[in-house]
Amino acid sequence: MTFNPLEQRGIPLDRQVRSWRELDVAPIDPDATDPYTRCRVITMNGIEVEAILFSHQLARHTADPEIKRSLAEVRYVEAQQQKAVNWLLPGVSSVLETTIAYEQVAVDLTAWIARMEPDPYLRQAYEFGVLEDFDHLYRYANLYEMIEHRKAESIVDGLTEVMPGRPTRMHHRHPYDNVRDPYDRTRVDPLSKLHALTVMSAEQQTMNFYMNTGPTYMEPIARQLYQEIGLIEEEHVTHYESLVDPGETWWEQLVNHEYNECYLYYSFMEQESHPKVKALWELHLNMELEHLRIACDLMRRHDGREPEEVLAPQLPNVLTFEPNKAYLRELLATQIDLTTLGAGYVREAHERFEEMQRRLNDGERPPSDRVMDQHRQVFGRDYRLETEGPHPVASERA
């Protein structure tokens, strides 16, 4: 690939503010759109939310009012981008339908990144996490059939399988064991930095979404399941954010954020089938190129370093939404029983893990198990979508 964002010119910042008419995007059709278009929308929303939140944090650590103003100007555009992207989601979809789409993102985004990740320790972190969101998809799909009497295949459309992963009850680890070791910013492949930032942003958005929409449900089991999985998404944010080298300066982090936005908009523009959505990815790419140029200037000025020192010489291979069924089945067969101990992974439930489980469960079954009990009571079976044969783990077969 020859696309180098550092050598491209974008739209001048003073021409990036959009009118109400331009922000009033037409939502995608919930049934007649490629599910991966919706996945790209959800991913970019998470990326834009992180761009906004990171810029706020940076501003709070900045004394110079002129720098604060410069950050505010770019941030306002990021906020408009977030609106234009997230408002592509249709209002007729229920919260639970959007939730299932979020878990489809978590599964196919993380699985693809795990497949492409060059660093073995980082790859293990993604392989570990993806089996948990895979199980969330299964639990929410069963809640969906119970409450809305629809099958999750109408949302995931056979691109992603729905069946048990690592059981959700096993995700409640002691927080001490959720912190991984960071990569070394001076030695790691620049692609690994983009991967970590992307997955962290997606999980952070999922955490925010569940913690805010969960209480809008009336059904007790739905309220409880969102609480439980919302807590796990916080564990996932802890897990993924700890992969990032904390020695990166604020300006270096800003450059990484803007570079990653260029990478993702470019990737999604290349593969988008929906013409209007594709045009939006292209517009946003042209905005991000300018954000990146501004961030690079700030880094040169404040760190006295060239951004080229920390960035890849050209964009890596495009990040792609595609089925990862065989890969996920391989992970299910080999890693379903893993947990964490300190910064590493083990197969035995250790003392700290057991103690955490005792505290939380207090002699009862967690909501993620009760939702399955209730579903079986109503339907006499669980809901699953196994397109490639029976579950790879014999004990998890229906």
* The entry of Fe ion, another protein, none that residue 149 binds, CB within 5 to 8 Å by partner kind: another protein
The Cα 243–Cα 182 span in angstroms is 4
The Cα 347–Cα 337 span in angstroms is 6
* The entry of Fe ion, another protein, none that residue 136 binds, CB within 5 to 8 Å by partner kind: Fe ion
* The entry of Fe ion, another protein, none that residue 59 binds, CB within 5 to 8 Å by partner kind: none
Looking at beta carbons only, is 236 or 391 nearer to Fe ion? Answer: 236
Check residue 136 for interaction with Fe ion (CB under 5 A): yes
338 in Cβ contact with 166 (< 8 Å): yes
Site string for Fe ion, 96-135 (x = CB under 5 A): ----------x--------------------------x--
CA 154 vs CA 101, 145, 159: distances in Å: 11, 11, 11
174 in Cβ contact with 182 (< 8 Å): no
Binder among 22, 23, 72, 148 for another protein (CB under 8 A): 148
Q: Which stretch binds Fe ion (CB under 5 A): 26-34, 155-163, 186-194, 228-236?
A: 228-236
- Residues in region 40-99 near another protein by CB under 8 A: 91-92, 94
Check residue 78 for interaction with Fe ion (CB under 5 A): yes
* The entry of Fe ion, another protein, none that residue 150 binds, CB within 5 to 8 Å by partner kind: another protein
Check residue 380 for interaction with another protein (CB under 8 A): no
Q: Which stretch binds another protein (CB under 8 A): 79-87, 149-157, 166-174, 349-357?
A: 149-157
The Cα 137–Cα 123 span in angstroms is 21
Per DSSP (E only), the strands in the chain are: 339-341, 344-346
Check residue 170 for interaction with Fe ion (CB under 5 A): no
Segment holding 394, helix H or strand E: none
Check residue 224 for interaction with another protein (CB under 8 A): no
CB of 85 to another protein, least distance (A): 22
The Cα 367–Cα 242 span in angstroms is 28
Binder among 1, 279, 360, 378 for another protein (CB under 8 A): 378
Q: List beta partners, residue 385.
A: 162
Check residue 238 for interaction with Fe ion (CB under 5 A): no
Site string for another protein, 151-170 (x = CB under 8 A): x--x----------------
The Cα 267–Cα 276 span in angstroms is 16
Binder among 2, 14, 19, 32 for another protein (CB under 8 A): 32
Distance of CA 171 to the CA centre of its chain: 17
* The entry of another protein, Fe ion, none that residue 98 binds, CB within 5 to 8 Å by partner kind: none
CB of 392 to Fe ion, least distance (A): 20
Token pair in block for residue 370: 């009760």
Q: Which stretch binds Fe ion (CB under 5 A): 179-187, 226-234, 316-324, 368-376?
A: 226-234
* Other CB atoms within 10 Å distance of the CB of residue 74: 22
The Cα 4–Cα 7 span in angstroms is 6
The Cα 185–Cα 123 span in angstroms is 16
The Cα 90–Cα 111 span in angstroms is 26
Token pair in block for residue 40: 């790209």
* Other CB atoms within 10 Å distance of the CB of residue 184: 10
Looking at beta carbons only, is 53 or 356 nearer to Fe ion? Answer: 53
Distant-in-sequence, close-in-space partners of 193: CB < 8 Å, separation ≥ 6? 183, 185, 244, 256, 260
Instruction: Give contact residues for Fe ion (rule: CB under 5 A).
Output: 48, 51, 78, 81, 106, 133, 136, 203, 233, 236, 261
Instruction: Give contact residues for another protein (rule: CB under 8 A).
Output: 29-32, 91-92, 94, 146-151, 154, 218-221, 374, 377-378
